[in-house]
Amino acid sequence: MTGWAHTDADSVCSARQAAASALAASAAVNGTHAAAAVARLKQKVANLDKDAAIAAAVEDVAASASGKHADAVASGLSAAVEARLPPCAAGGSVRAKSFLILFMGHSGSTAMLSEMTQHSSIMGSPTGPEPIDHHEYENDTPLAVSFTRKFLAEGIAAGKVPGFKLRPTHILNDPEAFQSIIKDFGVRLIWNSRGNLIKQAVGEYRHRFLKDDSVIEGLRDGETLEERCAKGACSFNITDMPFFHNVLRDLENNDRLVEKAMEALGSDGCVLPVPYEEYLYGRASTMARIYRFFGLPVEDHPPNRQKATHDSMCEVVSNMDDLCDAFYGCPDLRWMFDDWRTGCKCSVLPVSRFRPTGGYCDLTKRLPTDVRPVGVAAAAST
């Protein structure tokens, strides 16, 4: 998957669960001071996507049998975060000329870009966050290329760092044209992705099957998640499992398209991966890292879009047991159900009810369903 590979998923999840257990145990033994130190460390751990760093933190805290080393470990992990900047950013000392965000839906890109475009040195497109994916540009790659070149040139001439987000379609249609854009305008790329495919599919199912656009657009106009839930608009049943399977398949295919577009651009490694999970659980530190990648001073601006669904699938999917019955047995998907942050997880089911291969687990095939998917899905059968 984009940014977070299937092969890394189980180790990352296991490490984080181990971190939670070890840190909680340490806090229980050593009282209030240790609990506070461990809480600070846990927050640092929550913003990382490297299981090695997490394991090192767990080992240090567990070995000390207290939280006395937590601050030192947290500082070390913070330094590791800083070191993740690509070489082109020169540690945040070289200002970017322009940027593009390559994304696929339900990955926090709109909220993230809404923060960026409030920065005093950044210029977003007045026609919307993803201007070449809609209207007259959607099916006209040459026109999209022309718009991109004109927009970036005007933004740079105005003394700004211009940019917007885009899906991979136009890049794959004409990779040479976008390679030239990357070179001519010194574009720094943000690779926006999402690790938890099941949570992503729950939101996409809500959009396609229930025709609820809020999961795409997010909450706005002062609406809160609590107010939305009070109206009964927060939870629903997933009634068509073959349809949900096809949503999963489409999302995984879309991730592959993003990966192909990144490869086609050949951007010499000037790419900053920003998984949705890092932005969701560590918004301020993630935005600070983006600004350092751009060589810009950090400014804190609230996003103008808020998350429209609860982070716990148990709060969103009313028939969670049915979803577990259908997909928890799939080895590549199982870790996505065991959420140590929210405590939501599948009940232990008899092994005979698992279907580790074929059926819903085979995301290479589309399953028959009575409902035709809508939206951005790759709808063609294979």
CATH of the domain at 165: 3.40.50
Q: Which residue has the higher pLDDT, 6 or 54?
A: 54
Residue 365: pLDDT band (50, 70, 90) is confident
pLDDT at residue 44 in the model? 47
Residue type, 251: L
pLDDT bucket at 219, cuts 50 / 70 / 90: low
176 and 283 housed in the same domain? yes
Flag whether pLDDT at 99 surpasses 90: yes
- Mark whether 152 and 223 lie in a shared domain: yes
The four Cα atoms 168, 8, 77, 200 give a dihedral, to 10 degrees, of 50
Residues 23 and 153 in one domain: no
Are 22 and 170 in a shared domain?
Answer: no
Q: What confidence score (pLDDT) does residue 16 get?
A: 46
The answer to whether residues 49 and 134 belong to one domain is no
Question: Is 316 a domain residue?
Answer: no
Whether pLDDT at 76 is above 60: no
For 355, the token pair is 């279907």
C-beta atoms surrounding 231 within 10 Å: 8
Last residue in a domain, options 82, 105, 137: 82
Beta-carbon count within 10 A of 327 CB: 25
The reported pLDDT for the residue numbered 369 is 72
Q: pTM for the complete prediction?
A: 0.71
Residue 117: domain span: 87-234+267-294
Residue-wise pLDDT tens digits, 23-59:
444 444 444 554 554 454 445 444 444 444 445 555 5
Inform me whether the pLDDT recorded for 116 exceeds 90. yes
Mean pLDDT of 173-194: 95
The H or E element containing residue 52 is helix 51-64
Instruction: Mark whether 92 and 184 lie in a shared domain.
Output: yes
Same domain, 72 and 182: no
Q: Is 216 a residue whose pLDDT tops 70?
A: no
Q: How far is residue 31's CA from residue 183's CA, in Å, rounded to a whole number? A: 56
Tokens in use for 293?
């990648």
Q: Do 153 and 58 belong to one domain?
A: no
Q: Do 74 and 123 share a structural domain?
A: no
Based on the domain organization, do 104 and 78 belong to the same domain? Answer: no
Phi, psi of 371 (to 5 degrees): -110, 130
d(CA 362, CA 151): 42
Clarify whether residues 59 and 124 are in a common domain. Answer: no
Contact 311, 130 (CB under 8 A): no
Is residue 237 within 8 Å of residue 351, measured between CB atoms? no
Is residue 254 one of the residues assigned to a domain?
no
Q: Are residues 69 and 106 in the same domain?
A: no
Express each pLDDT in 270-319 by its tens digit. 999 999 888 988 889 899 999 999 999 999 998 876 666 778 899 899 99
pLDDT score recorded for residue 271: 92
Rounded-to-integer distance, Cα 324 and Cα 313, Å:
11
Higher pLDDT, 279 or 80: 279
**Domain boundary pick from 21, 48, 82:** 82
pLDDT at residue 222 is higher than 90: no
- % of the chain residues with pLDDT over 70: 64
Domain count, the chain: 2
